[in-house]
Structure 1
């Protein structure tokens, strides 16, 4: 899916008790745990913490200011991991914090940051049958982009 960043990105009021920050190595275990929790229903998997952290932090498109982390008094409740190529790699919200708008807030935060960086679009991949996620993405102005396959 894609979001045209020439369009205005609305603001977002974070719920009381939610603090937005960026990824830091000391948050790795909590972020990794949330990522693994997010894939329990399918759609992928997360390697062991040490492997995940090394791959994440050494990726050429890694920028810690593009990994948005929402925390409450109990810890990490949502993560939006983006690459420098204006791509949203992962978006996960802890089950105990769903329905607070955190996914929406993180997406809008990412859109705003990429807009500041003068990107024209931001993209992500989503499974066709992940209707809950697709509805969220559409609600923030994303639309489906189909790949064109070149015939043999």
Structure 2
């Protein structure tokens, strides 16, 4: 398993995986949208994407990070927003290697933290995240999160 950072010229490696990821989350299949979305994120430097390639050089997973800033701490942090591994490649270490690459990248960027979210019933993912060292945040933190839909 090899992990590489995606560039605009290698975006083709994840567009189908990104479409599969969206379908996994009950979105309609739309390869054109997937290609445009990945292209724009890379073209405008809005995300960092790593792809996992199997021994045959075929893409089997990806992770996508978005930056966020803390004004108070004056540091850039990263949201590990997307992690997807094909069913055939699960339990072969691709997810862990993708997360390891994301964490190594964030460290070189001087990040204060990497954050992610997952469903409560996603036990396999939660086990992986906790094994790596992610700690579930208590809902009673010092700050409350509010959101308004537009």
Query: Offset at 1:58?
Result: 2.5
Contact 1:43–1:127 under 8 Å retained in 2: no
SS at match of 1:100: coil
Q: Does 1:115 align with 2:107?
A: yes
Match of 2:129 in 1: 137
For 2:74, the equivalent position in structure 1 comes to: none
CA offsets 1:8-27 (integer angstroms, 9 cap, x no match): xxxxxxxxxx2222223455
1:21 has 2:4 as partner: yes
Residue 70 of structure 1: how far off its partner (Å): 1.1
Distance 2:80 2:63 in 1: 7
Work out whether 1:62 is the aligned partner of 2:46: yes
Which residue, out of 43, 58, 64, partners 1:75? 58
Structure 2: segments with no counterpart, 5+ residues: 69-77
SS of alignment partner, residue 135 of structure 2: coil
Whether 1:88 aligns to 2:80 is: yes
1:120 deviation in Å? Answer: 0.7
Retained in 2: the 8 A contact 1:61–1:84? no
Aligned length: 130
Which of 1 and 2 has higher RCO (CA within 8 Å, sep 6+)? 1
Q: What is the alpha-carbon distance in structure 1 between the residues aligned to residue 13 and residue 2 of structure 2?
A: 15
TM-score (norm 1): 0.71
| 1:100 CA drift (Å) | 1.4
- Residues of 1 paired with 2:109 and 2:28: CA distance? 29
Gaps of 5+ in 1: 1-17
Deviates most, 81-90 or 26-35: 26-35
Are the counterparts in 2 of residues 35 and 46 from structure 1 also a CA contact under 8 Å? Answer: no
Please, what TM-score do these two structures have when normalized by structure 2?
Answer: 0.72
Tell me how far 1:121 sits from its aligned partner.
Answer: 0.5
The change in CA–CA distance for 1:81 and 1:21 in structure 2 (over 3 A counts) is: same
